[in-house]
Chains A and B, each alone.
Chain A
């Protein structure tokens, strides 16, 4: 791990050297990620990622990391006859499975520096997330459901409500460590790097970060969803066989 980390730092230094030497060619922003792909294997307990790069001189760098978009239903419980029962519900589309935002500044500071239209366009901050409610109900009825969705994701560590710890080495080199918890779904994640200067976007780069299941578990999962009849039948045969083996092994003399 330290080997790969130092490799990453070496790459950062290289990137910095390139930006310094060839600013016109490299543009105002270069960025990359340490692990090009994250795999969910049998012992997956979460994964660390490192986003890094360099900017040419002044500006405010914001990094937005988003997971694949999902459709989610949010339900509210009510008490009926002493038991808590799901009653009301609202569905949302374009819900990122993961969301983190990074900057050296706090969200409050960013709100003051960057125009609202740009914050909204790049979906910077949880308030700017474009979650699409699939209902024609008034906004004040949707709001508690939207808030509950975000609250739940923050609790599961899938959304970060604070700007992540972006660090600068000197004026140009930056890095942002990122942690994906064990419950991240697979899919294509995107890291979007945006450089603001004087209320305008001067540099932008998007890097894809695939998270995939691998090994035995991935095969099981894909079989279960793509060939469910075959999977179900195999599950039965496997169980019958396992039960028979148990009976033979522990047969009383």
Chain B
């Protein structure tokens, strides 16, 4: 059954869209990630214009993050103070990101920048995940090696504007979470991702937050950052396809339920290795499309329509 998507201006099979939502939702539930970094490239692969894929995915992530954030909030796993500081950075970054998006679109370079950003980030993160997973499995086989300290002190702990974050048991400079929020905000706007795959490692390794509050706090700020992206994309670029977002969400909600159950049965290291492989596969496909000779060197963009 074909469904006409009004903003993407294309027909797509509704079962394909539901299936994509379900599959990414399954992986998201299994690995505890948002899935935006897989969904945006998938939408581009099926022919959704890249600007529409990015903006629509931001809208989709708002919905997907709410359920997760609510669950973590009920368990008290959200550090609101840290969340707000991250969010201030996130709002500034994402607003700048949408502005940058509009400029790049006018220059005809937005598709390239989206693809390149994905190739770089997916490549780095996929490799790190694989390496980490291999190391963890190796450690399990040869136990007895020394573990890392819980808190390490780097130069970042000497920065000014120190704030106390009770829930995270931290006394650090507010500039640190602010700038992390800023960078992730820009990426959220340009790539149509929540940025969990960057913010979560950053919170653990750079800020030294306890793992228990990391996911809840990141989901909390992702809701507002992606909401900001959705609004600004709708106003400046007219690229949010609500219908597409709703169909993806329907599939995603169901997929996530099965994913969470499947995830509970697998070991953490193997999970991370598996996700690393998927991430690298998507990255390779994007890289191949960028480097391979295009079907036609010329491309066409309609900039004004007659009615």
Name A's B-contacting residues (CB within 8 A): 40-45, 68-78, 82-86, 89, 91, 97, 144-145, 148-149, 151-153, 155, 182-183, 185-188, 213, 216-218, 220-221, 224-225, 228-229, 231-236, 238-240, 242-244, 246-247, 249-250
Contacts and interface: CB of A to CB of B under 8 A. Distances in A.
B238 A228 contact: yes
Contacts of B64: 243
A97 B300 CA distance: 12
Interface stretch (B157-165, B201-209, B245-253): B245-253
B112 interface: yes
10 pairs of A and B residues whose beta carbons are closest in the complex: A243-B66, A232-B234, A148-B298, A68-B306, A247-B67, A239-B63, A239-B62, A71-B304, A243-B63, A217-B6
Contacts of A213: 6
A77 B294 contact: yes
Contacts, number: 194
A91 B245 contact: no
A188 B305 CA distance: 11
Given A40-B4, A182-B11, 9 more contacts: A78-B297, A185-B9, A232-B232, A232-B234, A235-B230, A240-B227, A242-B66, A246-B66, A250-B257
A224 B238 contact: yes
B303 A72 contact: yes
Interface of B: 1-7, 9-11, 59-60, 62-67, 70-71, 108-109, 112, 116, 223, 227, 230-235, 238, 240, 242-243, 245-246, 249, 253, 256-257, 290-291, 293-294, 296-307
A224 B249 contact: no
Nearest to B301: A73
Nearest to A249: B253
Q: Which residue among B223, B294, B304 has the maximum number of chain A CB atoms within 10 Å of its CB? A: B304
B302 A75 contact: no
B234 A224 contact: yes
